[in-house]
């Protein structure tokens, strides 16, 4: 484990070799954030059980949840790239499934750390012309944490995908419910809502989302209301304690989703990626924590 400390925060980051599974980016995988004053914590596991292989935790991102890069042209037994993870082996003729446990050959990752920052550099491995260099830098300043991305297409073929961060939040371990408020930087409305349960548990009002009651199972919806080309932010607060966190993304959002369960809520801001050979792009996710 890598531990970063500022005058106000203590942050735990998993070593790339500690991460398992074929889904989540193994770099800058933030497993816990603690406010030194007040002792508030913000991160929980995706699954309450620690025995689920490859599950997410805390602030962990993923590239390409809907489609693997080059997957459709990959034959069974051949490999395709999953940014931040490695080269995955196609198992069968089925469509790409982000939940599947594909056999992974991890990318080589170089890690450099000091007390308040950690840099992760993923070295490219060519796969039928697809190759990318990914650098992520986590930096602490006061009660803030930033994750800066640099993605470079060093292959001979275009890279078209997207990136988002699962923010697995459970402030001080409090279960999700009416004690929480989720606020966005735009008037928020629901789209593509899971129809059978989610409308009964979530309440939308202006820029806020509240819970009618504590959820008994998973809920999901996509959010609309943000403008084209607009950089967005959100804030989650546990009202009785006054503890909370906010995220701001420097790139415009291409999609925003909200997933949760009785113990966790996860706002997800998606960034679109379309890089021709030789092109690169940067973006930053900035978090602020308060108590």
Structural domains of the chain ordered from first start: 2-290 (2.70.98.10)
The pLDDT tens digits for 125-181 are 999 999 999 999 999 999 999 999 999 999 999 999 999 999 999 999 999 999 999
- pLDDT tier for residue 49 given thresholds of 50, 70 and 90: low
End-to-end alpha carbon distance in the chain: 25
Mean pLDDT in residue range 21-41: 95
**pLDDT at residue 19 greater than cutoff 60:** yes
Among the listed residues 145, 186, 120, the one whose alpha carbon sits nearest the alpha carbon of residue 10: 145
pTM of the model: 0.94
Predicted confidence at residue 230, as pLDDT, reads 80
Q: Tokens standing for 92?
A: 């069968």
- pLDDT tier for residue 51 given thresholds of 50, 70 and 90: low
Q: In what order do the strands lie in the sheet with 219-224?
A: 2-5, 9-14, 29-35, 59-63, 159-167, 264-275, 255-261, 219-224, 189-191
Rounded to the nearest integer, the mean pLDDT of the chain is: 94
Among the listed residues 289, 291, 283, 273, the one whose alpha carbon sits nearest the alpha carbon of residue 130: 273
Q: Tokens standing for 180?
A: 């929480």
Q: Tokens standing for 220?
A: 């999901």
Q: CA–CA separation, 166 vs 177, rounded Å?
A: 19
Percent pLDDT > 70 in the chain is 98
Mean pLDDT in residue range 197-207: 93
Q: What is the dihedral of CA 127, 102, 268, 249, to 10 degrees?
A: -30
**pLDDT at residue 87 greater than cutoff 80:** yes
């Amino acid at each position: 484990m890598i531990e970063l400390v500022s005058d106000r925060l203590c942050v735990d980051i998993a070593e790339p070799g500690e991460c398992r599974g074929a889904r989540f980016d193994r770099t800058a995988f933030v497993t816990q954030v603690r406010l030194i004053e007040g002792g508030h914590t913000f991160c929980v596991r995706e699954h309450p059980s620690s025995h689920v292989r490859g599950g997410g935790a805390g602030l962990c991102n993923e590239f390409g949840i809907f489609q693997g890069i080059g997957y459709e042209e990959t034959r069974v037994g051949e490999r395709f790239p999953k940014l931040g993870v490695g080269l995955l082996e196609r198992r069968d003729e089925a469509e790409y499934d982000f939940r599947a446990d594909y056999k992974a050959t991890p990318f080589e990752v170089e890690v450099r750390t000091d007390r308040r920052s950690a840099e992760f550099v993923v070295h490219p491995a060519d796969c039928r012309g697809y190759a990318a260099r990914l650098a992520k830098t986590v930096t602490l300043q006061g009660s803030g944490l930033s994750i800066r991305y640099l993605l470079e297409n060093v292959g001979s073929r275009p890279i078209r995908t997207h990136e988002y961060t699962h923010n697995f939040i459970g402030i001080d371990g409090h279960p999700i419910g009416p004690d929480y408020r989720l606020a966005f930087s735009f008037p928020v409305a629901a789209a593509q809502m899971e129809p059978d349960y989610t409308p009964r548990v979530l309440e939308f009002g202006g820029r806020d989302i509240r819970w009618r009651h504590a959820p008994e199972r998973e809920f999901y919806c996509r959010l609309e209301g943000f403008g084209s080309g607009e950089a967005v932010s959100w804030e989650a607060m546990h009202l009785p304690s006054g503890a909370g966190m906010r995220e701001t993304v420097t790139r415009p959002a291409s999609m925003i989703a909200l997933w949760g369960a009785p113990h966790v809520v996860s706002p997800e801001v998606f960034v679109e990626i379309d890089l021709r050979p030789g092109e690169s792009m940067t973006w930053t996710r900035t978090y602020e924590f308060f108590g």
